[in-house]
Each structure stands twice: as structure tokens, then as C-alpha cells.
Amino acid sequence: MSSMQQMTCLSSSSPFLFLFHALIITFLTFTIISASYGGESETDHLALLDIKSWITDPHEALSSWNNSIHFCDWSGVTCGKRHKRVTYLRLSSKGLEGSLSPHVGNLSFLHGLSLINNTFQGSIPHELGRLSRLRFLDLGYNKFNGSIPTSISGCSNLEHIGLSYNELAGSIPKEISFLSKLTFLSLSNNKLRNGIPSFLGNITSMELFSVSGNPLGGSIPDTLRHWKNLKEIYCESCNLYGTIPNSLYNLSLLTNISLGDNQLSGSLPQDMCSMLPNLVLLQLWGNNLTGPLPPSISNCSRLRHLDVTDNKLSGKLTIDFAKLRDISVISLGDNIFGTKEDVELRFIDSLKNCTRLKRLSLYNCKFQGVLPTSIGNLSNQLNYLSLEENQLHGNIPKSVGNLVGLEMLSLKGNRFTGKIPSTIGNLQKLKVVHLSENQLSGSIPHAIGNLSMLISLNLGFNILEGYIPSSLGSFHHLLELYLNDNKLSGNIPTQLLQVSSLSIKLDLSRNNLFGSLPTEVEDLKMLSDLDLSDNNLSGSIPSSLGDCASLSRLSLKGNLFQGMIPPSLSSMKGLVELDISHNNLSGQIPPFLGRLGAYLNLSYNDFEGELPMLGVFGNARAFSIFGNSRLCGGLVELRLPKCNVMKKHKKKLPLFVTAILIASTLFIIICLAYAWCKKEKNLIASTLFTIICLAYAWCKKKNTSHPSHPSMSKQFIKVSYNQLLKATNGFSEANLIGNGGFSSVYKGTFGKGDGRLVAVKVLHLQNPIAQRSFTRECEAWRIVRHRNLLKIITSCSSVDFQGNDFKALVYEFMPNGSLHDWLHSVKSTWRLNLLQITNILTDVACALDYLHNHCIPTIVHGDLKPSNILLDEDMVAHVGDFGLAQLFGNSYQNSSIGITGTIGYVAPEYGLGSEMTNSGDVYSFGILILEVCQKDEFAMQNQEENEKMINECLASIVKIGVACSLDSPQQRMDIKKVVHELQHISDTLHNICYFKILCTFFHV
């Protein structure tokens, strides 16, 4: 009988006996596996299991880590062949989260540990110091925080340490200098401070040292001269200052030097490349270096990357680039190499032997003279060429058409004349062409239409003439097109308006274009900015323009448009700036324009009738209507004439109707007289009844034909306590979204199914101040109306089911919460970028400007702080909570509720008993700005070409905050000026963002 048959018999004859045998087999298997691990192997086994227990594994990368197989066969684990101990642990890019277990220190045979590109957090365990055999350690691209453990000195055999892109803080520990075998040390992009320590010079075996992206500060210590084996040094954006020590140039094995974006000064030694013959990469951009660029760079025959952009280097370029056959990047922009010689670009001739050259950046170098035809002899691998912002003149050489590898060509901001060479159409890979701000003439060559990969074309500010070629409609990737400030004429080609990829800007302004605006403009559904101003366009504004739903800015000013504003423009919900001034438009101004955002210009047309007062039209600073003599009404400060109330003239009845009425009246009189004479009471009664019915019908018709005029303002809906109770699910804790001293705010839903989301603010009436706060807030909301103020839906003053007084305010729900949540909530995973911060501050400033200068009566908010600034789905800011507001010019002006704001935001003069004023709100706004700007976690739009401008914008915002929060109320910045300054900063940041999008497309 076979064993299977025996098992079957045992199973059928005795289930318990079968179970007994199974337990014996399992026990024997476990015993064999345990015996195979051995005592010391079991230590590794348990350590690995503990490491797994500290990890969250959403992608099941560690699914094999179980007792079904030997741990040496687990994913990412490598063991020695003889002793079966863990020698290498590779868990890179597994999507792991959690912390690193201290039991990692029990893997005593470990030679290598790699956890690169996961989401480990917490501190690095000091137990790592037990791993005396460890040679390779890389924990980069995680979220480890705290300090670098000093116990790392126990890893005496370490050769490689990689801790880049974490959140490590403190300073570089001295104990690292005890690692005598260390050759690779990368600590980039952390938060390390206190300079590059001099004791690191003791690690004489060092070959790579990288600490870029740390705010280290200090100067480069001279002790680094002991690193005789050093090949690469990276310390970009480290806040270094002082000069580069001469001893650093004596490290002859150096191949890579990257010290960009610091504050280093001094000059470069003239024999630099004689001392550094192995140099491959030299990055010194963004410093304060002076003097000439050493001609000895010609001797760095291995050099591939040279970047000294944004320094103060000067003098004639005398480098013989012909010797640098491997060079791929030459970036010399933003220096002073110009010598006012016509042949100062002669060095370009020597670049023809640089067959691997991919990037040549010579912008803003003060070069003069002509661009030599030898520019066409450059490498066919060249993909980036920038000579913008120099003083070059003459024609653009036709030979530029030989650079078939070009993706970006920028010659803007020079003095080039003549025609755009048609050979430019040969550059099929071009994505960006900037030839603006020159003196180019002639027509736009049709060959430009061959550049099917273009995403940005800028030919503005020249003297180009002729028609816009229809071939420009062949672009399929174009994001922005600038043909502004030329002498172009003719119609706008319909093919151009059918380039549906246009999404950033189409600018045809300040030309001589004529004809109507084609209805095909509706195809620009993704376009954000359309400028057709200052041309000779005529006809009516096409209703199809309303299909451009993504437009945020539209300018049609300075044309010959006529007729009425088409109602279809009401569908352009995102429009924040509309300029249709200086045309021949007529008719009434439609009220829907009041829903627009920042600015509306309707000046110098022929509009008539009553000016709306809702939305934008409630803020005289937000729109312009000069030169429309037939308008009336509107805000008082506009000083328009009052609108005449048209008298209702009585309509004369037609002659035949009059005759019938007279005949009917006579007939009735005769009937009554006859009945009276004959004593016919029934006839008299019926006749009188008929007269009464006719009179009643006449009065009824008169009343219904002239109904009473409804209220100008939309009445608030009425809600009961019961409705609010249901809307908030019984004011449940789950719906609570905020708590304050006088109230609690709940999220609610009105209506069934996809009901309207609202925020219900319930007053704590047990606090005696809450009643006055409710009254004051209702009074404020009754008179204010502005896009940057929180919209109130209704209020409720009732009793609850226990008979207690109940008061609540119902607001429009803001899906993105408060500014306080974005700045301080630990739950928030997203960060505001600088542009969003600026837009939010601009919105708040506009709200204050409205309350202080355009609202009647003037209102002082009194409690401006981040928690009272709410953000809608488009991140537009709305100021709320008028519970402490002061209304000047009404009965509430002199009342007091005993509180004048929130500590930290309240103006100092309030503490001395001063009355609330506009300047108190300005002070609170200044503190708000400084609070926002000190949050160093907000996302910056980093791009090395624009970082200086970004920092200037940030500095300007901080200056506004300081100017608003001065102790003296009289010296604080005027809120009107604040709005103007913030809008200017916002425009600057918008331009930077557009540039960043372009850079992303061609990988600059």
C-alpha cells in the first residue's frame, strides 16, 4: 500500500490520528528550519522581522518576508555563502514608509545598507554605530530628521555615506572625521548649519564631498587641502562667503567643482587649469566673482561643463575653445565680457571644433558688434543658444539655419536689423524662438510655419510689416504667441485662431490690423490671455468669444468695435480683467460684468442708461467708465447724474372704444330709468349688479397690471432651527469645522441629493458678548458686497427644541478652509507657493481697501487673522467674521464689546485705550504678511535664472509687512498703496511661472 493510500486510510479511520501526524510533520519542519538558521542566524532573522514591523508596505514589496522560506531568500536580502548571515540589505525605491528599527544594529555582518528613495522618517537610529563591518550606507531621498548620530564613528570601515535629500538638521558631527576609510560623503539638501567644519580635512581618503542645498554658511576651510584624493566637491546654495582658498586649486585630482549660488568673491587664478588638469565640471554660477575668466581654461582638455553665470567677471574672452573638444555646456551669461569691439564675438569661430556642444548661453554679457556667420558652424547637437540682452547689431546670419539640433533660440533685446532669415524654417526641433525687442523689419517669413514643435514664439517689439501669414496656423503645440508692437496689417487669419493649443497668451496688440474679429475665436478654449488692443478692428464683438471659457484677461481696447456687449460673455467665469475701452460700443452695461474680478475698463465708448452697483461696480477703484456721457446712477463718488424716473403717461383710449363706452353708459342709464318708471325692481337689481361687477373687474385689472416694484436686493431665504439641525446632521462633531470664543462653525447641506454646501455659524449665547457680536455682524453683512468678502446666505434668530434662544449665520461654504489651516495644520499635505501667497494677500488687501475706502459707512474689521481668511475652490481669499467690526456713521459706532482683536494681531495703540481705526486693520494685515513670509516651508518656484527675481519679490512682500506693522499708526502704509504693490508683485510672479512652464518643455 502506498503512503498516500495509508494516509487516506488513516484519515478515513481516525481523523484525530491524521491531525496528530500533521502536527508532528509541522514541528519537524520548523525544527529543521530553526536548526538551519543557527543561533547567530536567528539573530539576523529576528532583526529583519523587527525591521519589517516598523515599516508600512503599501505595494507589498516585502511580501516574501515570512517563515515560508529562508530569510536569505527574502526580497532585498543578500547573505554570505558560508555563514548565512545578512551582508547586504537593498530596499531602494520600494515605496516603503515608516521608521528604521534600532534592531538594524543587530545585523552585525552587514556590509551595505541602501534605503534610497522611500518615505522613511524619524531619526536615524544610533544603533547603526554597532555595524563595524559596514562599508556602504545610503539613506538618501527619504524624510529622516533630527541630527546625524555621533555613533556613526563606530562604523570604522565606512567608505560611502549618502544622506542627501532628507530633513537632517544641526551640524556635521566631528565623529565623521574618525572614518579614515571614507571616500564618499553626500549630505546635500538637508538643513545642516554651522559651516563646513575644518576637522573634515582629517579624512585624507575623501574622493567625493557633497553638501549642496544646506544653509551651512561660513567660508571654505583651508584644511580641505589635505584631501589629496578629492575628485568631486559640491556645495551649491550653501550660503558660503569669502574667497575660494588657493589650496583648493592644488588638489590636482579634482574633476568636479560645484560651488554655485553662494556669496563667494575674489578672482580665479590665471593658471587654474594648469593646477587642475583633470577638471570635467566647473560650476561657479551665482556668486560675486570678479576679474577675467582665466585663459588657462583652454588647457582643461577634459572640461565638459563650464558655468560661471551671474557673477561680475569682466574683460575680453581669450579662451581658445577649440582645445575643449568634449565641452557640452558653456554658460557665461550675466557677466561683463563686452569690450565695445566689433569683433569681440570672434571666439565663436573656435567653437566649431566643439562637436559635443549642446548649450551656449551668452546672455546679458554687454557684447557689441555683429554676430559672425560662423555661428552656423556650431555643433549639430547644439539645442540651446541664447545671446539675448546684449547690444548686437546687423543682420541675423542666414547660417543660423544650419543649427538643426536647436530647441531654443533667443536673440531678444539686441539691435538686430533686416529681415528674419527664412532659413530659420530649417530648424525643425525648435520649441522656443525669442526675437523680440530688436529692429527687425520686412514680413514674417512663411517658413516659420514649418516649425511644428514650437511652444513659444515671440516676435514682439520690432518693425515687422505685412500680413500675418496663415502658415502660423499649422502649430499644434504652441502655448504662447507674441506679435505685438509691430506694423502688421490685414485681417486676423482664421487659421491662427484655430491653434487650439494656445493656452498662455496670444498678443497681437499695437499693430495696424483691420477687419472683424473672426467667429473662429471660439476655438481658443484653453487660452488664458488675449490682447488685441490698439488696432483697427471693427464690427461687433462676436458672441462666440464667450466660448473662451479659460480667459482670465481680455483686452480689446483702442479699436473700432461697435454694438452692444454680447450676453455670451457672461459664461467667461474666470475673467478677472476686461479692457474694452476706446471703442464705439453702445447700449446698456450688462449687470453680469459685475461678477468679474480685479479690473474692468469700459471708458470712452457710448454706453447709456443706469450703471449697475453690484459686484465690481460696488468698488470705484475696480472699474473705469470715463468718457461715457450718457451713463447715470452708480456709486456716489462717480458723480454721475441721477437717472430720471420716466413718468407713466396715461394711454388714450381709441375712438371706437370711447364710443362703445359712451353708448353702453347711455344704455344702462335708459334701462335704469325705464325700470324705475315701471317699478321693475329685478331689472334695477340686475343692472346695478352688472355695474358693480364691471367696476370690480376694472379695479382688479388695474391692480394686476401695475404690481408693486420688488425690492432691489434679493431677499434672504428664511431658515428655521429645525432646517439647520438637519443640514448639519444634528450639529454633529463630525461636521464641526471651527471653534471660536463666541461661536462654533459647522458644515451643512441644504437640499436633497447634491445639495448646496454651507457653513453654519452658531452663536454661544451663554456668552453675553455673543448677542452683540451677532447684531454687529448682521449690520455689517447687510451693507457689504465684495468678491473678497465671505458671502452670507441668511441668518436665523429662533429658539431650539428646549426653548432656548438660538442665533446662527449661514455662509457660503469655502472648500479650501482657512489660511490658518494651510499655514499651521499638521494635516495639510499641500503647501502654498509664493504666487498663491501673493494672490491671497492681494485679495485680503482688496477687501480692506473696499471696507475702508469704498463702503458706506466705513467699516473697520477689528479681528483680521489667518483663521478669518477663507479660501474658495479657486484659492480666492474671502475675509469673514465681522463680530468685532466697527461701523463708522451709524448707531453702533460708539458701542463696545470689550474686545478689540486677537492677541498678536491687535494694534499696539488699542492696548492704550485708543478707538478702533483703519490703521488698526492695516497693522493686523502687516502681522499677517510677516507670519506668512516666515513660513519657510511654502513651495518656491525655483529656477536658477529666476531665483533672484523671486527673492526680490519675497523681500518686497516682507517690506510691505514691516511698513504696515509700524508702531505709529500715522506711519503705516496706506492700504491703497498696498494693493498696488501686491498686484505688481503678483504680475511679476505670473511671468516667472510662465517661464518655468517653457523651461519644463525643453528641459532647460
Q: Would you state the pLDDT for residue 5? A: 46
Q: At residue 125, does pLDDT exceed 70? A: yes
Q: Is the pTM of this model over 0.75?
A: no
Length of the chain: 1004
Q: Would you state the pLDDT for residue 27? A: 46
Q: At residue 480, does pLDDT exceed 70? A: yes
Q: What is the mean pLDDT of residues 432-461?
A: 95
Number of helical H runs and strand E runs in the chain: 13, 55
Residues 861-879: tens digit of each pLDDT: 888 999 889 998 888 999 9
Distance from C-alpha of 943 to C-alpha of 11, rounded to nearest angstrom: 74
Distance from C-alpha of 368 to C-alpha of 803, rounded to nearest angstrom: 86
Q: What is the mean pLDDT of residues 247-264?
A: 93
For a pLDDT cut of 70, what percent of the chain falls above it?
84
Tell me the torsion sign for CA atoms 802, 804, 805, 808: negative
The boundaries of every CATH 3.80.10.10 domain in the chain are: 514-644
Decide: residue 802, CB within 10 A, 0-12 exposed, 13-18 middle, 19+ buried. Answer: exposed
Min mean pLDDT across 216-230, 246-260, 362-376, 846-860 is at 846-860
Q: Would you state the pLDDT for residue 597? A: 66
Q: What is the mean pLDDT of residues 9-16?
A: 46
Q: Would you state the pLDDT for residue 22? A: 52
Query: 743 falls in which pLDDT band (50, 70, 90)?
Result: confident
Tell me the torsion sign for CA atoms 37, 41, 43, 46: negative
Residues 368-382: tens digit of each pLDDT: 999 999 999 999 999
Q: What is the mean pLDDT of residues 260-264?
A: 95
DSSP state of 833: B
Q: Would you state the pLDDT for residue 829? A: 52
Q: What is the mean pLDDT of residues 223-238?
A: 94
Return the beta strands (E) in 202-354 as ranges: 208-210, 232-234, 241-243, 256-258, 263-267, 281-283, 288-291, 305-307, 312-313, 329-331
Q: Which listed residue (334, 579, 849, 863) is catalytic?
A: 863
φ and ψ at residue 553, rounded to 5 degrees: -135, 130
Decide: residue 39, CB within 10 A, 0-12 exposed, 13-18 middle, 19+ buried. Answer: exposed
Q: At residue 994, does pLDDT exceed 60? A: no
Q: Would you state the pLDDT for residue 401? A: 95
Mean pLDDT value across the chain: 85
More confident residue, 407 or 857: 407
Query: 344 falls in which pLDDT band (50, 70, 90)?
Result: confident
Query: 738 falls in which pLDDT band (50, 70, 90)?
Result: confident
Active site annotation includes 987: no
Query: 893 falls in which pLDDT band (50, 70, 90)?
Result: very low
Distance from C-alpha of 925 to C-alpha of 972, rounded to nearest angstrom: 11
The boundaries of every CATH 1.10.510.10 domain in the chain are: 820-1004
Instruction: Indicate the residue type of 135.
Output: R
Q: What is the mean pLDDT of residues 231-239?
A: 95
More confident residue, 430 or 752: 430
Contact at 8 Å (CB) between 641 and 877? no
Contact at 8 Å (CB) between 575 and 598? no
Distance from C-alpha of 188 to C-alpha of 214, rounded to nearest angstrom: 6
Distance from C-alpha of 186 to C-alpha of 168, rounded to nearest angstrom: 12
Q: Would you state the pLDDT for residue 731? A: 86
Q: At residue 714, does pLDDT exceed 70? A: no
Residues 364-417: tens digit of each pLDDT: 999 999 999 999 999 999 999 999 999 999 999 999 999 999 999 999 999 999
Q: At residue 745, does pLDDT exceed 50? A: yes
* 836 CB-side CA count, 13 A: 18
Contact at 8 Å (CB) between 389 and 415? no
More confident residue, 726 or 420: 420
Residues 501-522: tens digit of each pLDDT: 999 999 999 999 999 999 999 9
Which residue carries 449665520 as its cell? 809
More confident residue, 776 or 622: 622
Q: Would you state the pLDDT for residue 709? A: 31
Distance from C-alpha of 822 to C-alpha of 926, rounded to nearest angstrom: 18
Min mean pLDDT across 22-26, 700-704, 995-999 is at 700-704
Distance from C-alpha of 983 to C-alpha of 991, rounded to nearest angstrom: 13
Tell me how far CA of residue 609 lies from CA of 616, 632, 676, in angstroms: 17, 6, 59
Range of 462-476, 750-764, 803-817, 885-899 with top mean pLDDT: 462-476
CA 668 centroid distance within chain? 83
Distance from C-alpha of 480 to C-alpha of 505, rounded to nearest angstrom: 5
Query: 465 falls in which pLDDT band (50, 70, 90)?
Result: very high
The boundaries of every CATH 3.30.200.20 domain in the chain are: 719-813
Residues 50-106: tens digit of each pLDDT: 999 999 999 999 999 998 899 999 999 999 988 889 999 999 999 999 999 999 999
Q: At residue 633, does pLDDT exceed 80? A: yes
Distance from C-alpha of 421 to C-alpha of 397, rounded to nearest angstrom: 7
Residue 162 contacts by C-beta under 8 Å, 6 or more apart in sequence?
A: 116, 137, 138, 139, 140, 184, 186
DSSP per position, 235-268: -TTS--EEEPPGGGGG-TT--EEE--SSEEEEE-
Min mean pLDDT across 222-236, 718-732, 931-945 is at 931-945
Distance from C-alpha of 985 to C-alpha of 241, rounded to nearest angstrom: 29
CATH architecture of the domain formed by 820-1004: Orthogonal Bundle (1.10)
Q: At residue 977, does pLDDT exceed 50? A: yes
More confident residue, 346 or 417: 417
Q: Helices (DSSP H) in 645-799: which residue ranges?
A: 655-678, 681-705, 721-727, 768-783
Residues 103-117: tens digit of each pLDDT: 999 999 999 999 999
Q: Which helix (H) or strand (E) holds 553?
A: strand 553-555
CATH topology of domain 514-644: 3.80.10
Min mean pLDDT across 527-531, 841-845, 889-893, 903-907 is at 889-893
CATH topology of domain 719-813: Phosphorylase Kinase; domain 1 (3.30.200)
Q: What is the mean pLDDT of residues 829-845?
A: 85
Q: Cβ–Cβ contacts within 10 Å for residue 228, how many?
A: 12
Q: What is the mean pLDDT of residues 571-576?
A: 87
Q: What is the mean pLDDT of residues 289-296?
A: 93
Q: What is the mean pLDDT of residues 663-670?
A: 74
